[in-house]
Amino acid sequence: MNPQVTPVLRLADAGLAFGDRPLWSGLDLDLRPGEFVTVLGANGSGKSSLLKAILGLQPLTTGSISFLGRPVTRGDRHIGYIPQQRLIPAGTPLRGWDLVALGVDGHRPGVRWRGRRSVRAAVEAAVAAVGAGGFAGRPIGQLSGGEQQRLRVAQALVSDPSLLLCDEPLISLDLQHQQAVSRLVDQRRRQHGTPVLFVTHDINPVLPMTDRVLYFAAGRHRLGTPEKVLHSGVLSALYGTPVEVARIGERVVVLGAPDHHEPHHPSEHGGEHE
Amino acid sequence: MNWWERIFNFADYGQLLGLVHNSLIAAAVLGVVGGIVSVFVMQRDMAFAVHGVSELSFAGAAGALLVGASVVAGALVGSILAALAIGLLGARARDRNSAIGVLMPFGLGLGILFLALYEGRASAKFGLLTGQIISVDSPQLGWLIGICLVALGLLVAIWRPLLFDTLDPDVATARGVPGRAMSLLFMLALGLVVSVAVQIVGALLVLALLVTPAASALRVSASPVLVPVLSALFGVLAAVGGILLALGGSLPISPYITSISFLTYLVCRVVGSRKGRVVRMGQ
């Protein structure tokens, strides 16, 4: 097989259930180099659990996941992970640099003793790549949510990941920072061919860069190009209830989807099922 | 004798100093380790847990006093059991706080029961609640220092992943940091330090050495290196300074330790607010 199209990530007949509550099943997904897949769906439909499964933190009920040709392992450091923005409080004794540096060696035991210089070089490059040079030296608790989120992107990229998982990274950011963060993710996959799995409740900020959409609803899912999946007929069949997809200018709005536009429920990300 | 002489009295100071130099070493070590632990106590929002662990440690020490066992061992057993229980029961803050709220009065009640049954020296009873380092003998001091050093070694060994887990548990887990293990190892280190602090400043005043130093340091710095260093320094200042001031008087050392600790915090607040104003003006 041509190595160019070997999938970085492969889910085969993957299914996940909590007790007798199935989240999704029969999921087949091949993520190829440079591909941008946006994951949509109602709260509690298992979007974040999918990322947890890929990170090896959540065993599948059925099927398998392989990453770079091998079964996923717990906390694989070839995967970059960008979480949803959670404001780091003022009075945290770390500077922007330090947050990024944890992406290099935060998992290692002990204190950073040797290799300070190489860590510093990697951190500086990553900080520059996300345009955070102007504020990375300031205490992290004094930075805005958007600035902190840029640094989290740098933290995820500093270890040169082969796959990027984004779990609602745009939530509670203003429009400008939403664009900035999604542009940085897009830039990474264009320049390095790192495929992206991007979980979000609003596709619009990432619609221009989305190659395929994975849409979860009512224990089922649909995978395909945005044009194909974001369609009234397709989503109505998926939800099992009439759903209207409207296109207003460049924006896509899904109307009538159960639970879709309710405020984000934090417990989905809060390790409820750990 | 008037009040002032009972509070501050430096007659025969040199002679007294010779008698307590072991206590001073123990206090200095506790100051350093307590100061460093307190940085994580603040970051992980564990002040209430410190208090809970110290009451259980008190119960253990009181139980040991009653049955004639080693108070150091009793404090250690109570402390570690409580720390691990809190670590296991409550990964999330709300679960943790309710677990502590349940454990704490139980421990305190148990301790008071043991002390009421104990028929030995009354000062030993009071000492467990409010501090008694001067009455701790040399072999015990050796143990206290050893326990502190083990806690320090443990903290240094898990420093980076603990920091990562404290700052951003989701990402740390995604990067392969075992969050539960970090939490339990930290609680173990905390338990070790608390068991020593209970015997030096007393169960009721442990927070002065395990929360205030970092709370002060965080007022004046945000550097990952400077904050632990300052915090350790403030811990030593309070613990050693407290003993030195208390030496000549006839009072327990804890009010001196807690007062120095509190004054340090006030000074840091003032310095911090000035610094903040300069930074804001500079922007």
Chain A residues with CB-CB distance to B224 below 8 A: 93-95, 98
Contact list in B for residue A161 (CB cut-off 8 A) is none
In a domain, B89, yes or no: yes
Give the separation between CA A201 and CA B184, rounded to whole angstroms: 35
Q: How far apart are the first and last CA of chain B?
A: 57
* Residue A151 CB neighbour total at 10 angstroms: 26
DSSP secondary structure string for all residues of chain A: --GGG--SEEEEEEEEEETTEEEEEEEEEEE-TT-EEEEEE-TTSSHHHHHHHHTTSS--SEEEEEETTEE--TT-TTEEEE----PPPTT-S-BHHHHHHHHHHTTSSS---S-HHHHHHHHHHHHHHTT-TTTTTSBGGGS-HHHHHHHHHHHHHTT--SEEEEESTTTT--HHHHHHHHHHHHHHHHHH---EEEE-S--GGGGGG-SEEEEEETTEEEEE-HHHHSSHHHHHHHHTS--EEEEETTEEEEES-TTTTSPP-GGGTTTTT-
Separation between Cα atoms, residue A103 and residue B191, nearest integer Å: 30
Which distant-in-sequence residues (6+ apart) come within 8 Å of A195 by Cβ?
A: A8, A9, A31, A32, A33, A34, A35, A36, A37, A163, A164, A189
Tens digits of per-residue pLDDT, A85-115? 888 988 899 999 999 999 999 998 988 877 7
* A109/B174 Cβ within 8 A: no
**A-chain residues within 8 Å CB-CB of B226?**
93
In a domain, B219, yes or no: no
Question: What is the CB-side half-sphere exposure of residue B42 using CA atoms within 13 A?
Answer: 26
Of the two residues A259 and A112, the one the predictor is more confident about is: A112
Whether A92 sits inside 8 A of B173 (CB atoms) is no
Q: How far is CA A250 from CA A104, A190, B281, in A?
A: 38, 22, 43
Per-residue pLDDT tens for B146-162? 999 999 999 999 999 99
Q: Identify the residue whose tokens are 């041509």.
A: A2
CB of B114 within 8 A of CB of B61? no
Residues of A in contact with B220 (CB under 8 A): none
Q: Which domain holds residue B101?
A: 11-205
Domain annotation covers residue B242: no
pLDDT of B277 reads 62
Round to whole Å and give the CA distance between B42 and B29.
20
Q: Is 80 exceeded by the pLDDT of residue A261?
A: no
What is the β-pairing status of strands A196-199 and A212-217? unpaired
CA–CA distance, A65 with A28 (Å, rounded to integer): 9
Chain A CA closest to residue B156:
A110
CATH number, domain of B116, equals: 1.10.3470.10
B-chain residues within 8 Å CB-CB of A167? 170
Residues of B with CB under 8 A from a CB of A: 39, 42-43, 91-92, 156-161, 163-164, 167-177, 217-218, 221-224, 226-228
pLDDT of residue B1: 56
CA distance A239 to chain B (A): 30
- Residue B155's identity, in one-letter code, is L
Statement: residue A116 has pLDDT above 60:
yes
Strand, helix or coil at B281?
helix
What ipTM describes this predicted complex? Answer: 0.87
H helical segments located in chain B: 3-7, 13-19, 21-43, 47-67, 71-89, 93-117, 122-130, 138-157, 159-167, 169-174, 179-201, 207-210, 212-220, 226-246, 254-282
pLDDT at B275: 77
Whole-angstrom distance, CA of residue A222 vs CA of residue B190 = 50
Any domain includes B158: yes
Interface A:B, Cβ pairs < 8 A: 104
Domains of chain A from N-terminus onward: 3-86+166-268 (3.40.50.300)
Mean pLDDT, residues B116-136: 73
Residue B220 falls within a domain, yes or no?
no
| Domain-embedded: residue B121 | yes
What is the least distance, in Å, from the CA of B36 to any CA of chain A?
13
CB burial of B56-77 (b: ≥16 within 10 Å; e: otherwise) equals bbbbbbbbbbbeeeebbebbbb
- Nearest to A18, CA basis, from A239, A258, A219: A219
Nearest to B175 among A75, A141, A274 (CB): A75
Residue B184, pLDDT > 70, answer yes
Residue B5 has pLDDT above 80, yes or no: no
When divided into structural domains, chain B yields a total of 1
CA–CA separation, A183 and A56 (whole Å): 27
Type of residue numbered A105: D
> Would you mind telling me the total number of residues written for chain A in this entry?
274
Separation in Å, CA of A249 to nearest CA in chain B: 36
- pLDDT, tens digit, 9 for 90 and up, residues B91-101: 677 778 888 89
Note whether residue B86 is domain-resident: yes
| Share above pLDDT 70 across residues of chain B, in percent, rounded to a whole number | 93
